[in-house]
Chain A
Amino acid sequence: NAGVTQTPKFQVLKTGQSMTLQCAQDMNHEYMSWYRQDPGMGLRLIHYSVGAGITDQGEVPNGYNVSRSTTEDFPLRLLSAAPSQTSVYFCASKGEWANVLTFGAGSRLTVL
């Protein structure tokens, strides 16, 4: 059981470049979500999904796109990276009702 897997762990981009952060889980969890964590700002929800084909915006969705074509995968796309998107990104998933929210190890993104 791999849990929640995020790739890449580290990435450096130039302003204007695009990239996709990958998130996969093998626990058949319906709920998946992306957070960013910045010093002094805590964890802020970017986008989330309650099942395949369903996505919704969180607190800070601007500049990010998501899709949920399968239960297992929930990629986060940056279409035109900006320095303000420099952050640590966490993917998390949970199963039905009582299940705990399980986190990936994080992806550290730097935009120059």
Chain B
Amino acid sequence: KQEVTQIPAALSVPEGENLVLNCSFTDSAIYNLQWFRQDPGKGLTSLLLIQSSQREQTSGRLNASLDKSSGRSTLYIAASQPGDSATYLCAVLRKRGTSYDKVIFGPGTSLSVIP
């Protein structure tokens, strides 16, 4: 059974800091891993998607890495801003045979960036 965990559960940092959010999964048979952002009371917005054959993806101040063999992904946020305050969730698309089936989410990390 695929289980996804995220550490830390909550994080509060001063503006300008670089920070790392962690995601772990128990089954390395994944097709891809995706990072999302969720603002309070809102839906989920996709940030980055990493295919199982890739090691990292970058978008602006965000960099996500994937180590499938150890079951870990990290989301690096450079020069954090108050507008980065949100909950960040990782999700894995489980591999099934030569195809895929379901997407399982971690519980999220709640980030607060203090001006």
Q: List 30 A-B contacts (CB under 8 A).
A: A33-B102, A40-B107, A41-B107, A42-B89, A42-B105, A42-B107, A42-B108, A43-B44, A45-B102, A50-B99, A50-B100, A56-B101, A56-B102, A58-B102, A92-B44, A92-B103, A94-B103, A97-B31, A97-B100, A98-B32, A98-B51, A100-B34, A100-B49, A101-B91, A101-B103, A102-B46, A104-B43, A105-B42, A105-B43, A106-B43
Q: Is the CB of B105 within 8 A of A35?
A: yes
Q: Is the CB of B34 within 8 A of A101?
A: yes
Residue A74 is within 8 A (CB to CB) of chain B in the complex: no
Residues in A neighbouring B93, C-beta threshold 8 A: 101
| 15 further contact pairs, Cβ within 8 A, besides A100-B46, A100-B49 | A33-B102, A40-B107, A42-B107, A43-B44, A43-B105, A45-B104, A90-B44, A97-B100, A98-B32, A98-B49, A101-B46, A101-B93, A101-B103, A102-B46, A104-B43
Bound together, the chains give a CA A105 to CA B45 distance in angstroms of 10
Interface SS, B side = strand
Number of interface residues of A (CB under 8 A): 25
What does the 1/0 interface line of A37-75 toward B look like (CB < 8 Å)?
A: 000111111001010000010110000000000000000
Given that A42-B106, A45-B102, A48-B102 are contacting pairs, would A90 and B46 also be in contact in the complex, using a CB cutoff of 8 Å?
no
